[in-house]
Structure 1
Amino acid sequence: MAPQPAPEDALSENRFVADKLDEVARLLDQQNASLFRVRAYRDAASYLRGLPHPVRLDYQRGGKRGLDDLPTIGQSIAATIAEILDTGGSGVLDRLRGAADPEQILRTVPMIGPALARQIHEDLGIETLEALEAAAYDGRLAAIKGIGPRRVESLRHSLADMLARRRPRHAPIDRQQPSVADILAVDQAYRSNLDRLPTIKPRRFNPTGDTRLPILHTEQNDWQFTALFSNTPNAQRFGKTRDWVVIYFERADQPEAQVTVVTEHGGPLDGKRVIRGQEKSCALHYKDLGPGP
């Protein structure tokens, strides 16, 4: 049986979520993202405004899959809606505004206080709960001083509970991601066009409000990318704010994830751009390219 129309006040949350999706679309448009990506967020916002029942019901009944099954809502936008319903905010929107605070996101996990959140963000560059979960499984989180095996296991369980509704049932932890070649091509395109890119004004480490970060939205082989210089404490401390590039990527069937591209110092890849944590894959990539000119 079709859902019965809900009272007007019960649909206010739909409008709240739609407003945030519309703002994402507006900022993407201002920052020269593809028309396809802008339209996807606008269409999702329009659909939610016309939905005759609270979208939270779909989320409660089917988790993120329940949102993904709605017309005009793909996996990446479903993940954004789920985050808004869970937290009232959106990491994508905060990033586009220049207002991202990854440490606050990490502190929502039980057993992660301000000091540990800062350490995780500084050492690993993690900005989302999904990226934190990946680090809990691939060994990076266990490498942080003071985090033993038991704590990692507890964090895995906490994250599984927190993220359960945001992913389809039985979804694997490992995700697909763009090729090394595509990621490095986006990094090159970003660093080669800094003077022509739109900029955002970050709130962190910008006391005078003068600093502006160039931001690139682009596409490669069905993937949507956003690239901008790292504005983490470590990037500030080590003077890498014009070297480390954070690249976010998503696809209609893949929620957003991120990598950081840096200039390697020392070793066989000295001077080359590499994806942090994927040095072996980058070495194979450069080997396949052959010797330079």
Structure 2
Amino acid sequence: MPVHNSEIASKFDHLADLLEIKDANEFRVRAYRNAANTIRDQSRSIASMVKEGDDLSELPDIGDDLAGKITTIVRTGKFPLLEEVAEDMDEAIVDATRIPGIGPKRAKALFDMLDLSSLDDLEDAAEEGEIADVSGFGEKTQARIKKELKQGDITEQRFHLDTAEDFAEPLIAYIREIDGVEKAEIAGSYRRRKETVGDLDILVAGQDGGAIIDAFVAYDEVDEVESKGKTRSTVTLRSGINVDLRVIPEESWGAAIHYFTGSKKHNVAGRRRAQDRGLKLNEYGLYEEKSRVGGATEDEVYDAIGLPWIDPVLREDRGEIEAAEEGDLPDLVTLDDIRGDLHSHTTASDGKHSLRQMAEAAMDRGYKYLAITDHSKSQTQAGGLSADDLERQIDDIAELNDGFNGFRLLAGCEVDILEDGDLDFPDSLLSKLDLVVASIHSKLDLDEEAQTDRIIRAMDSPEVNIIGHPTGRMLEKRRPYPLDMERLIEAAADRGCALELNANPNRLDLSDIHCRQAAELGVRIAISTDAHATGGLGNMRYGVDQARRGWLNRKDVLNTLSWHNLSRALKRS
């Protein structure tokens, strides 16, 4: 049974969380987190590397001990150390770590100080005002915990798009090879490329539904079969993802894929248009009175309701119906439009590969440029560069560029925005760079006005080209810090400063809505991976998906430009 990279990384992350709860040595905790990131960044399958006898200890942050643990996971599917550490762990504390902003240490502190034993106890403590009295928490944190616990079940598992893809793509490839399968697609939020996926909806067109279902439930990653019929089955994969498969006649394909792709609001709007034309539209087809008149293809469905085909990424009932009706759908940016990456790290700070290795990986992707933006000096835990270090790196990049043909490394820096809005380096040094990404990494708890003012003041520097991961969110882990996004976007427009769409699937920051708002005001978006290893450059596709959900076209995206045009666009004067 194959073990996916995301599964191995998840086990290492989970172990790090448990060790942090147990107050283990911080270097040990960091070693497992670094290993998890290395595994996620691999473009190759770790399981394949083990099978082929590759030396895993040669990977960044993976020594002999960790290589042995990874090999055990691949060969047995088990992680004995994780099982040992988890044996006496209070699961309620682990669940509490899923509250955005409440990490392992803080969750443990709350449960110990207040003698809690469940999430219900935690919610009661918030209601009674007890959390605010715990050192290091206060009224704001108490209010946030109360809000998060009331919003829904924080134990409900959702998967980042890259993790869902890791399991979904091998599964759909397997299904397409089943005898009798004519078509098979993943619908739902996965097809719409939403940031996180709760489950997978798979449609299959085929003749012998029973045989197809039998083969589906025999997939080697199925952990539990929840239901099994002649045309529908629901299973849970080993990863925890629920999969719902439906077998439909091919004549209903277009109507069914439209219906199960969603969103619900988009579907409602489509059904209303059908009704206005004397038709009925559902997952089985298009009907005029009781006669079926279409639904074999999505084009047929949209044509019947007077619209051109609408890309699934736009189907959120945010004006796409009206735009389609007026012939004004956007010509969405594509991965092929991307000419380079404007945010990456090397071993000079907290990256895992050298300048040359990052450059070669970018060239392998057909890029014309890559910006090296290692951290500035305040990021001591990330190995931030001193002013002298940055000066030397500028020289090193210039020397490397002398040997490149048709490719350019850009000398940049991810410079910290300090609490008062000042930058970590003076403009006199930043002016020597090709590109400056200014980001917040500390003081995330400032109020909305102060945080917004802080970023706007940073943009006042003419050397700042891009605001990195502007809202600071980490999907499923950390909410965006309070910001007046309308004012921030307007300030960026006034100053000619771009905003980053951080393509790391743990961030995808900006949101699709904010991307669209920025583009409408003429603010260019830089889709950047924030890659800390060569494999991280492959995350660009998730950023492009997010940009497409935000209605962005090629002209809205900074790094669709050639280096000649980009260099001109970066000049703010």
Structure exhibiting the larger radius of gyration computed from Cα positions? 2
Q: Which has the higher contact order (CA 8 A, sep 6+)?
A: 1
